[in-house]
Amino acid sequence: MAISAALDRLPSGSPVSAVATRLLELFTSGSIAPGTRLPPERQLAASLDVGRSAVREALAALEVLGVVDVRPGSGTYLRSSTSELLPQSLSWGILIGQRSTTELIEVRGALEIYAARLAAERMDADSAAELDTHLQRMAETLDDLPAFVEADLQFHLVLARATGNSVLLDLLQIIRSLLRVWVDRAVEDVDHARAALAEHTAVRDAIAAGDGDAAASAMASHMLTAGRRLANVQQA
């Protein structure tokens, strides 16, 4: 199915959220095969009758949500799988304000704590080794905060996948995506990074011991300080 032909023009001046929603409806409809390379921005913009900047921003949002994969020098591709919850996540994102962000931080904390408990009970050797890899990467990038934050993200994704609960994984990914702008800025200096590393190490040690209570407790401590860091960045 030709992607451009499946897109109807949007009303003049449509916001980025409308462009993203229209693209998401098409990409999650099942009519476009996973792995399909998307048309260039200018072609999508012409099909939707919007500016290229709106398409560019919409695709960037969809990349954060895990719907598309932007490969520099190659193009933008539809990822192989998308959550059934993603369409709703866009409307949530549009509504986010200070109160909603604070509440999302609270929900994320509760879900991460539960995920740590399940991971301690269910994580296999391969996932444990991957968790250690990302923890080591965090230790090696204390003075490279963007790389540190990415390793932090991968640590949490491995932990969430290890629960074997796809709904829990989807919810955590959506909340993390909606908070991404704050999460990326929450670790402001090397001291913050060292503190976060120690917190993650405590979580890893409890999971390695198979102690669900200790893993939940360690994650609760991490979420408390991480939540404070996120709240401070949000209010800055």
**pLDDT at residue 122 greater than cutoff 90:** yes
pLDDT at 138 over 80: yes
Report the C-alpha dihedral over residues 59, 63, 67, 73, rounded to 10 degrees. 80
Q: Which residue has the tokens 């866009």?
A: 90
Structural domains of the chain sorted by starting position, each given as residue range(s) with its CATH number in brackets: 4-78 (1.10.10.10), 96-235 (1.20.120.530)
Length of the chain: 236
| Both tokens assigned to 189 | 């200096």
**How would residue 94 be classed by pLDDT, with cut points 50, 70 and 90?**
very low
- What proportion of the chain, given as a percentage, has pLDDT over 90? 38
Contact 162, 119 (CB under 8 A): yes
Q: Is 101 exposed, middle or buried (0-12, 13-18, 19+ CB in 10 A)?
A: middle
Q: How far apart are CA 4 and CA 46, in angstroms?
A: 9
Classify the C-alpha dihedral 49-54-55-56 as positive or negative. positive
The pTM of this model reads 0.63
Helix (H, G, I), strand (E, B) or coil at 29: coil
Confidence of residue 98 (pLDDT cuts 50, 70, 90): low
- Tell me if residue 37 falls in helix, strand or coil: strand
Q: Are 116 and 215 in contact (CB under 8 A)?
A: yes
d(CA 204, CA 208): 6
Look at 158 and 73; give whichever has higher pLDDT. 158
Q: Is the pLDDT of residue 85 over 50?
A: no
CB 113 within 8 Å of CB 209 = no
